[in-house]
Amino acid sequence: MTQTPLVEQSRHDDILVLTIQNPPVNAFSPGVPEGLKAGLSAAAADEGIAAVVIIGGGRTFVAGADIKTFGLPREQAPDLRGTVQQLDAFPKPTVAALHGTALGGGLELALACAYRVAVPGARLGLPEVKLGVLPGAGGTGRLPRVVGVQKALDMMLSGTPIPATEARELGLVDELIEGDLLEGAVAFARRVAGQRPIPRVSERSVQGATPELFAAAREAIQKSHRGQLSPALIVDLVELAATRPFEEGWQAEAQKFMEARESPQSRGLRHIFFAERESAKIPGLGKDTPLLNIRAVGVIGAGTMGGGIAMNFLNAGLPVTIVETSQEALDRGLSVLRRNYESSAKKGRLTLDEVERRMALLTPTLEMTDLGGADLIIEAVFEDMAVKKALFTRLDGLARDSAILATNTSTLDVNEIAAVTSRPEQVIGLHFFSPANVMKLLEIVRAEKTSDTVLATCMALARRIGKVGVVVGVCDGFVGNRMVHRYGEEARRLVEEGASPEAVDAAMNALGLPMGPFQMTDMAGLDIGYAIRVHRAQQRGEPEPDGWLDRIVKTGRKGQKTGGGIYDYDDTRRPRPNADMQALIEAYRAEKGVTPRTVSADEITRRLTGTLINEGARILDEGIAQRAGDIDVIYVYGYGFPAYRGGPMHSAGEQGLQRVVEDLKQYGHTPAPLLERLAREGKTFADFDRERARG
């Protein structure tokens, strides 16, 4: 029989098994449809074959369309729809045998088979929405025909896969196979081989459709997927599936899929998908780099940050010893931590048993020497170099020789901290983002002497605790905060020129950020930024900062924690303008002789993203970030930059770098040399990443 390298054919008496061999995740790449079609044609023509089993080789069934082919013209894209059509009309029973993850095109392939069997640990889903697209090979028509409209919408709009056990209850899986999947699937195929008519999902009717349900779904996505294109297309298509013949939905789906695939939103989400995976790779660090075994963690400081950091490890089942300087602070920290867990339990995210299990892994202490058994110690104490140096000197004396000593500093020089120890190669920065148990980003600060083993261990650990770890170099603010500092400066300038803080925040909200710069400042605490500005001014020998925001801090308003800052807040924490603060800003402008002008939302977003891009380019040039993609990942996971815009550096490419350069010049900034060069050469930051990867 004809074989293609990606699909193996093997005969088990009267059953033909087609095994997809396209590691690592059996994506539907070029060669897969050809192999499947050839196998199906052979099986149709061979009277000795009674049924066909389709299975994935290696660790999984098909995990979806090959995302790398999304940029190809339609004619060159792998023909998933054609394969699905061939399966749907196939004259003999077909059985999809699922293990690992049957996602996207993989599940659509399975839905076009007559039967589906799965191992209990398999997971099934249509995650296309996460890539800004929609199921494009019959998924929007077939899934509601099997699981009903509500469940189909839930699965497609969340993109979250369901376990095979649930799929079995829903009828999405016909049988769970406990033992060997292939053996079980072949036995199942033999049992159904003679059954006629062959069941076809496309011939079923849709259950559970009501106009109210679609109206509710449309309303819900306004909140859950604000500003996004593909969720609305998914709802339209499921409605079509529920109200019109299958064929009509099938045709519409093809067209909508292309519309979504070609959208800037899908380009942005695909960029982040690959950038996230790329960020896990560190040039020069082989896969065989030895890792340290982290079995116990120490955290110094039980404040908001320390408590949040500790929770990450407790959640992953690692014991944590947490140290404070006073019993009162320790008790307060512990009760906050417990309250956090209990509120998760109330929301049904954790059982009370699980809360107790996690709390039992926590050892509170006032004795630093209790950290002697920890394999990793993270300090989250006051942001002061002298304090940190004293602490690291002490840690060096009491920690086990192999222990990693980490600082959660967000601004200080990790090299300087490492230098006070006798083991600078064991010192690293682990910069968590607040709230540390929620935000997915972890900046992993590689100091001059940090060893490869320590770095690789921390990358692996990030994954273990569910974080996206991105390696950054040492500089003031590392990547994220260094950029946000420039962004904050520009936001304050915009207000000085005439924009209201509400207008600045609203423009960034409209761009898709959950919080604008001033909402963020009020949440973080105005005194924090003020202290940094004072510190910088002192370092540079400049006078004390006295901008309009500094004057607000001096009135005693420090943000949400004091009930108000730039804005006032009600019980629901919704910001409202404060008349006194507006007057303060107006007085400031008058004092500086500024005649306020109208600033458009477009100018606000261009200037603010422009400053992010410009500082990002400097960071990249200095090698503080390895790739532009890393910066995007940092901004999406640490600062709420909308993933569907692909992060600031990707968004620069969408606008055109030349335009970013022109904007910067127009508003009085000097474009970074790297940005200017790329713009001149008509390139993007993705081109730069490729150049750097090639060396």
Q: Tell me which residues are annotated as active site.
A: 108, 128
What does DSSP say about strands 115-118 and 175-176: parallel, antiparallel, or unpaired?
parallel
Closer residue to ligand COA in complex, CB, 27/526? 27
Q: Is 484 in the site for ligand COA (CB under 6 A)?
A: no
Q: Which of 33, 78, 104, 144 binds ligand COA (CB under 6 A)?
A: 104
Nearer to ligand COA among residue 28 and residue 688 (C-beta):
28
Spatial distance between the Cα atoms of 548 and 183, rounded to a whole number of angstroms? 73
Q: Cβ closer to ligand COA: 30 or 640?
A: 30
In angstroms, give the least distance from the CB of 289 to ligand COA: 16
Q: Between 441 and 484, whose beta carbon lies closer to ligand COA? A: 441
- Binding mask of the shown chain, residues 273 to 292, with x at each position contacting ligand COA by CB under 6 A: -x--x---------------
Residue 693 has, within 13 A of its CA and on its CB side, a CA count of 14
- Measuring CA to CA, how many Å separate 495 from each of 499, 548, 593? 4, 9, 14
> Smallest distance, Å, CB 151 to ligand COA?
19
Q: How many CB atoms lie within 10 A of CB 541?
A: 6
Residue type, 494: L
Q: Please, how many CA atoms are within 13 Å of residue 474, restricted to the half-sphere of its CB?
A: 18
Tell me the residue number closest to ligand COA, measured at CB.
64
Q: How far is the CB of 312 from ligand COA (least distance, A)?
A: 19
User: From the list 7, 9, 53, 66, which residue makes contact with ligand COA (rule: CB under 6 A)?
Assistant: 66
506 closest CA partner among 615, 599, 433: 599
Q: Which amino acid is at 126?
A: L
Q: Report the residue number, 274 or 382, with the smaller CB distance to ligand COA.
A: 274
Contact 448, 474 (CB under 8 A): yes
Tell me whether residue 43 or residue 65 sits nearer to ligand COA (CB atom): 65
The Cα angle at residue 37 between residues 35 and 43, in degrees rounded to 5: 105
CB of residue 633 to ligand COA, shortest distance in Å: 13
Query: Contact, 102 vs 122, CB < 8 A?
Result: yes
Q: In what order do the strands lie in the sheet with 123-125?
A: 101-103, 123-125, 162-163
Give the nearest distance from C-beta 515 to ligand COA in angstroms.
28
Q: How far is the CB of 273 from ligand COA (least distance, A)?
A: 7
Interface residues for ligand COA in 46-65 (CB under 6 A)? 63-65
Helix and strand numbers, DSSP H then E, in the chain: 29, 19
Would you count residue 103 as binding ligand COA (CB under 6 A)?
yes
The DSSP string of 465-514 is: TT-EEEEE--STTTTHHHHHHHHHHHHHHHHHHT--HHHHHHHHHHHT-S
Establish if 177 lies at the interface with ligand COA (CB under 6 A): no
Per the CB < 8 A criterion, the answer to whether 294 and 459 are in contact is no
Q: Which is closer to ligand COA, CB of 99 or CB of 485?
A: 99
CA-nearest of 162, 158, 130 to 147 is 162
Structure tokens, 343: 């509120």
1 close to 10: Cβ distance less than 8 angstroms: no
Query: 27 or 532, CB closer to ligand COA?
Result: 27
From 6, 17, 20, 27, residue interacting with ligand COA (rule: CB under 6 A): 27
Can you tell me which of 67, 318, 462, 566 binds ligand COA, judged by CB under 6 A? 67
Task: Give, as ranges, the residues between 109 and 128 that touch ligand COA (CB under 6 A).
Answer: 127-128
For residue 278, the minimal CB distance to ligand COA (Å) is 7
**Strand partners of residue 571:** none
Least separation in angstroms between CB 272 and ligand COA: 12
Q: Which stretch binds ligand COA (CB under 6 A): 98-106, 396-404, 436-444, 606-614?
A: 98-106
> Using CB under 6 A, which residues numbered 132 to 161 contact ligand COA?
133
User: Residues interacting with ligand COA, by CB under 6 A?
Assistant: 24-25, 27, 63-68, 101, 103-104, 127-128, 131, 133, 274, 277
